[in-house]
Amino acid sequence: MAYFSKHYHNPGTAPGTLVGKADGGRPVNIRVLDYTGEEVEEVSLANAADCRAYLARDSNTWVQVNGQADPDTLRNLGDLFDLHDLALEDVLNTGQRPKIELYDDQLFIIAAMPLYDGENLEIVQISLFVGRNYLICLCPLDEDPFEPVRKRMRMPNNRRFTTRDVDYLLYALLDLIIDSAFPVLEQFGYQLEEMETDLLERPNQQTLSRIHGLKRELLLLRRVLWPQRELLTTLMRTEDELINAGTQVYFRDCHDHSVQIIELLESFREMATSMLDIYLSSISQRTNETMRLLTIIATIFIPLTFVVGIYGMNFEHPDSPWAMPELGWYYGYPMVWFVMMGITACLLWFFRRRGWI
């Protein structure tokens, strides 16, 4: 996971400049879902200019752009729907902070959708333009993550979408984006449980690396999910004519989900931090246990070394009263072994009584 993943223009570039990435990005796929109170029409378009036919209709239009949008596609959408140049620049320069911008007759929203495959965490920037009777959603992914919303809209007699304005469609998309954090946090929760077991049973360097990696990913999630909650707070309290009072109730529910996600995220971050402390304490405890064992072994061998050192001097003289008489004893050698084993047994008994072993 890169520490810095934002695409940006060179310093000094004029505001609103659209410059594509050198690699060209993913191919663009444009789909339009046009709906009224009676019917839902869904088509795929070859280019952005084909959306013009739907603007004259008395219906609501959802334009979904999947893949990395190139500057030409963004310019065509901007000319057709009168999108602001600064907003188009934010769409092209991915890695933006979640936010909401209010223009004359238009809302521009950037949301962050977290995706996790078990190894890598990806934050996908979703850009939304909301007008009186249209919604434009730009997603850099090849596959459309909003297929569950489309499936609900295709259902017959689904009055929630067909009889409401575009702001309810905005809620449905934001609700899916916000709730996508729940399965990500669920996988993080499983990892925390596994790491907790490893810490108690077999902490090692790999466990430490996993803890650091998880802390970094949780920090990245926090960086994008906190401003996303502020975005929903603004939608709840905005008095713009594009947001109906009846839809704000649904935005409050979406905001409640965001608060739950933040609380889970903060709990997981605290658990990861405490696990790091537990790991360091566990390693320190293991080091102390090892040092204690080595100290006990060294303490046992100190008197034994003293005994064998004395009898290894071999001072023997038949006429000297200061010679070592034990060197001539018949049972001298086994007697020394008996003394050394007795010293070892006494030391082990003393250590066990003190609770050191």
Decide if 313 contacts 306 (C-beta within 8 A).
Answer: no
How would you write the pLDDT of the chain (357 residues) with one tens digit per residue? 555 456 655 565 555 566 655 455 567 888 999 888 778 888 888 787 888 888 878 888 899 999 888 888 888 888 888 888 888 888 888 888 899 988 878 899 999 999 988 788 889 999 999 988 899 999 998 888 999 998 888 887 666 777 788 899 999 999 999 999 999 999 998 988 888 888 777 777 888 888 888 888 888 899 889 999 888 988 888 777 888 888 888 999 999 999 999 999 999 988 888 888 888 887 787 788 888 888 888 888 888 888 888 777 777 767 777 777 777 777 778 888 888 888 888 888 887 887 777
Domain residue spans of the chain: 29-282, 312-353
Decide if 73 contacts 48 (C-beta within 8 A).
Answer: yes
pLDDT tens readout for residues 280-315: 887 787 788 888 888 888 888 888 888 888 777 777
pLDDT tens readout for residues 49-105: 888 888 878 888 899 999 888 888 888 888 888 888 888 888 888 888 899 988 878
pLDDT of residue 174: 94
pLDDT of residue 327: 74
Decide if 226 contacts 245 (C-beta within 8 A).
Answer: no
C-alpha distances (whole Å) from 98 to each of 101, 188, 231, 237, 248 are 10, 22, 7, 17, 19
pLDDT of residue 14: 55
Exposure class string for 247-280: b at 16+ Cβ within 10 A, else e: bbebbeebbebbeebbebbeebbebbeebbebbe
pLDDT of residue 22: 47
pTM: 0.76
pLDDT of residue 19: 62
Rounded to an integer, what distance in angstroms lies between the CA atom of residue 263 and that of residue 212? 20
C-alpha distances (whole Å) from 59 to each of 37, 54, 95, 132, 150 are 8, 8, 33, 10, 16
Decide if 102 contacts 109 (C-beta within 8 A).
Answer: no
Q: Please provide the CATH number assigned to the domain covering 29-282.
A: 3.30.460.20
Across the chain, which distance is largest between two alpha carbons, in Å?
A: 130
Cβ atoms within 10 Å of 42's Cβ, excluding its own: 14
